[in-house]
Amino acid sequence: GQQVMQIPQYQHVQEGEDFTTYCNSSTTLSNIQWYKQRPGGHPVFLIQLVKSGEVKKQKRLTFQFGEAKKNSSLHITATQTTDVGTYFCAGRRSAGGTSYGKLTFGQGTILTVHP
């Protein structure tokens, strides 16, 4: 079945340093989504990437979708303590019509930011 691998599992940074998490799928994806989960909370949607080679930015966050639509990355510039949490990628294989299909989640990257 489809697998989505995410690395690293843990990342500790000093406030102000950059952070990147990488996501790799065993199959071609129709789209990839990124979520953030604060400690004790539930995942909150950040962004969806659909097109091959797509790059999207949200303030200090930059999201990329690979040309082959099998990998993705999330980069945070100049981390802040508010960035603490677990970042998940989630890939979808089927799309279109009324079929929503399944999202396969990566294992997540737990980000700790030291002030």
CB-nearer residue toward other proteins: 24 or 77: 24
CB-nearer residue toward other proteins: 12 or 100: 100
Give the C-alpha separation, 102 to 115, whole Å: 38
Provide the minimum distance between the beta carbon of 47 and other proteins in the complex, in angstroms, as a whole number: 9
Provide the minimum distance between the beta carbon of 23 and other proteins in the complex, in angstroms, as a whole number: 11
Going by DSSP bridges, is the β-strand pair 10-14/109-114 parallel, antiparallel, or unpaired? parallel
Provide the minimum distance between the beta carbon of 20 and other proteins in the complex, in angstroms, as a whole number: 18
- Residue 103 carries which side chain, given as an amino acid letter? L
Contact 25, 4 (CB under 8 A): yes
CB-nearer residue toward other proteins: 13 or 103: 103
Give the C-alpha separation, 51 to 85, whole Å: 27
Binding site for other proteins (CB under 8 A): 1, 6, 9, 33, 41-45, 48, 88, 90, 98-100, 102-108, 110
CB-nearer residue toward other proteins: 38 or 80: 38
Give the C-alpha separation, 57 to 45, whole Å: 14
